């Protein structure tokens, strides 16, 4: 009988994918964090031209220089993060960036702090790097924001890294500048890495995004194009860090992906250098959807504040397993909060990255569930 490798045994397939794969006919699927918009036209056009010009070969492992230059100036201009093109790797989505960052810095038994509730790739990626995941319990009363105190409570002499995610999946919470700064100071002081997953950076309705890379050289900044430019299928992202860390990460990237897709790199370049009004238009649409979903859930007696970022709501109900099952029976696929960590129990996640009309229809169905 086939015996899987030990490292696979402790890894489960993602709850969200399982939900998404249910593919129930006529169901409204609010389980996946995927913008429903088409990739903006000018980005698709740039890819078509590159394809016709035969830009279909391997690129340098770190990615094409023009794109790394564009990322470098974006990070400097918008985030106050100094990273020259040699300190940047273009990756197969933010997903790969996360994976190679952990592979490059974590030794067996090292502890990595992750938000709980938090994005469900963090735990398996830490496990695959043979690290030990330490949940940082986030409080609903505190809008699920990670604070410097939360972090300090969980640091030991084995702590190697802390994963930050603001705006956050699954809660939509946005960290405060003082906490980002405070955690950066802790990281500097104790020689801990900060892996900052900034994939929802531009999907922010209130407040401002702050990058720890502005405050500490120990930051590993991860970002991508999936959410901001509706480019999930292109599988393109990037990571920026001190060059000595990047030179280790590139070893994993080289023997894993070799390089990100050439055409997707062209798409990323156009996304960064082209007009940005598409980003504002999508954000406006997300805001309308957020307001609708929050209002309707509140009217159902599910109390919830408006999240400040990303495109998720994460409300509490008495019995979320029952609620999710009832919801699926009514034809609305949502995800149980326990998949995002222990502190996600008795919550559920709705992704509102789907059309307004479908959301109205979904809310009409959810309204008929007896809570
Ligand atoms: N980080 C977070 C918090 C996410 O929600 C996602 C996508 N769901 C990713 C990273 C991965 O994004 P990508 O498509 O760039 O791999």
Query: Is 90 exceeded by the pLDDT of residue 19?
Result: no
**Within 10 Å of residue 344's Cβ, how many Cβ atoms?**
25
Q: For atom 8 of ligand 1, which residue has the closest CA?
A: 33
What SS3 state is found at 313?
A: strand
Angle between helices 356-366 and 277-299 (to 10 degrees): 10
pLDDT of res. 16: 67
6-39+277-366 belongs to which CATH class?
Answer: alpha beta
Per-residue pLDDT of 354-371, as tens digits, reads 999 999 999 999 999 987
User: Do residues 331 and 25 lie in contact, with contact meaning Cβ atoms separated by under 8 Å?
Assistant: no
Which atom of ligand 1 approaches the CA of 165 most closely? Answer: 3
**Non-local CB neighbours of 274 within 8 Å, separated by 6+ positions:** 40, 42, 43, 46
Which 3 state secondary structure label does DSSP give 17?
helix
Q: Residue 32 CA: which ligand 1 atom is closest?
A: 8
Enter the tokens of residue 327: 């919801």
Tokens of 256: 């894993």
Q: How far is the CA of 235 from the centre of ligand 1 (A)?
A: 10
Residue 237 CA: which ligand 1 atom is closest? 15
Residues with C-beta less than 6 Å from any ligand 1 atom: 33, 93-95, 119, 165, 169, 197, 199, 224, 226, 232, 237
The structure tokens listed for 109 are 């038994």
In a mutational test of the pocket of ligand 1, which residue from 94, 101, 231, 238 has the highest number of ligand atoms less than 8 Å from its CB? Answer: 94
DSSP classification of residue 332: E
pLDDT band at 242 (very low <50, low <70, confident <90, very high): very high
pLDDT digits (tens, 9 = 90+) for 121-157: 999 999 999 999 999 999 999 999 999 999 999 999 9
Distance CA 199, CA 170 (A): 13
Q: What is the pLDDT of residue 14?
A: 74
**DSSP line for 120-174:** TTHHHHHHHTT-EEEEEEPPGGGTT---HHHHHHH--TTEEEEEEESS-TTT---
Q: Which of 35, 90, 95, 335 has most ligand 1 atoms within 8 Å of CB, for mutation?
A: 95
Can you tell me which atom of ligand 1 is nearest the CA of 94?
15
**Is pLDDT at 23 greater than 80 in this prediction?**
no
If you average pLDDT over every residue of the chain, what do you get? 95
Query: Measuring from atom 7 of ligand 1, which residue has the nearest CA?
Result: 33
Question: What is the mean pLDDT of the segment spanning 274-288?
Answer: 97
Distance 121 CA to ligand 1 centre (A): 8
pLDDT in tens, 265-279: 999 999 999 999 999
> Beta strand pairing status for 111-116 and 28-29?
unpaired
Q: Out of 169, 175, 229, 264, give the residue to mutate to test ligand 1, the one with the largest number of ligand atoms within 8 Å of its CB.
A: 169
Atom of ligand 1 nearest to the CA of 169: 3
Beta strands at 332-333 and 312-313: parallel, antiparallel or unpaired: unpaired
Q: Can you tell me which residue has the tokens 């169901």? A: 27
pLDDT given at position 26: 83
Residue for token digits 């008929």? 368
Minimal-distance CA residue to ligand 1 atom 12: 94
Res 15: pLDDT: 67
* 3-class DSSP assignment, residue 66: helix
Number of alpha helices (DSSP H) and beta strands (DSSP E) in the chain:
13, 12
Residue 264: how many CB atoms within 10 A of its CB? 22
Q: What is the pLDDT of residues 152-183, one digit of tens each?
A: 999 999 999 999 999 999 999 999 999 999 99
For residue 96, give the ligand 1 atom closest to its CA.
16
Measure the CA–CA gap between 226 and 236, rounded to whole angstroms.
7
- CA 247 – ligand 1 centroid, Å: 23
Spans of all domains in the chain: 6-39+277-366, 42-273
Kindly state the average pLDDT of the residues 193-209. Answer: 97
Residues composing the chain: 371
Provide the CA 345 distance to its chain's centre, in angstroms. 20
* Distance from residue 120's CA to the centre of ligand 1 (Å): 10
CATH of domain 42-273: 3.40.640.10
> Which pLDDT band holds residue 9 (cuts at 50, 70, 90)?
confident
Q: Which residue has the higher pLDDT, 15 or 363?
A: 363
| Whole-angstrom distance, CA of residue 34 vs CA of residue 227 | 7
Q: If you measure from the C-alpha of residue 79 to the centroid of ligand 1, how many angstroms do you get, rounded to a whole number?
A: 19
């Amino acid at each position: 009988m086939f015996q899987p490798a030990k490292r696979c045994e402790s890894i489960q397939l993602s709850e969200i994918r399982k939900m998404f794969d249910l593919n129930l006919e006529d169901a409204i699927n609010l389980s996946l964090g995927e913008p429903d918009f088409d990739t903006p036209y000018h980005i698709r056009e740039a890819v078509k031209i590159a394809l016709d010009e035969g830009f279909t070969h391997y690129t340098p492992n770190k990615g094409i220089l023009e794109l790394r230059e564009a990322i470098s100036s974006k990070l400097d201009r918008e985030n106050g993060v100094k990273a020259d093109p040699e300190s940047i790797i273009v990756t197969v989505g933010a997903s790969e960036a996360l994976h190679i960052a952990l592979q490059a810095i974590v030794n067996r038994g090292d502890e990595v702090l992750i938000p709980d509730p938090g994005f469900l790739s963090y735990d398996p990626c830490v496990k695959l790097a043979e690290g030990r995941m330490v949940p940082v319990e986030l409080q609903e009363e505190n809008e699920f924001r990670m604070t410097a105190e939360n972090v300090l409570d969980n640091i030991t002499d084995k702590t190697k890294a802390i994963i930050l995610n603001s705006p956050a999946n699954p809660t939509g919470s946005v960290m405060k500048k003082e906490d980002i700064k405070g955690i950066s100071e802790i990281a500097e002081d104790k020689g801990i890495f900060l892996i900052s997953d900034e994939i929802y950076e531009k999907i922010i309705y209130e407040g401002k995004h702050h990058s720890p890379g502005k405050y500490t050289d120990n930051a590993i900044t991860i970002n991508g194009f999936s959410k901001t430019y509706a480019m999930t299928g292109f599988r393109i992202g990037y990571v920026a860090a001190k060059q000595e860390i990047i030179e280790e990460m590139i070893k994993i990237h080289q023997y894993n992906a070799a390089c990100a897709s050439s055409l997707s790199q062209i798409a990323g370049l156009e996304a960064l250098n082209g007009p940005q009004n598409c980003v504002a238009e999508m954000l406006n649409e997300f805001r309308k959807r957020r307001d609708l979903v929050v209002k309707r859930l509140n009217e159902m007696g599910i109390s919830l504040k408006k999240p400040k970022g990303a495109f998720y709501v994460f409300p509490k109900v008495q019995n979320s397993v029952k609620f999710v099952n009832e919801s699926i029976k009514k034809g609305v696929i949502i995800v149980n909060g326990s998949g995002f960590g222990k502190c996600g129990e008795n919550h559920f996640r709705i992704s509102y990255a789907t059309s307004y009309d479908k959301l109205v229809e979904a809310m009409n169905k959810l309204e008929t569930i007896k809570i």
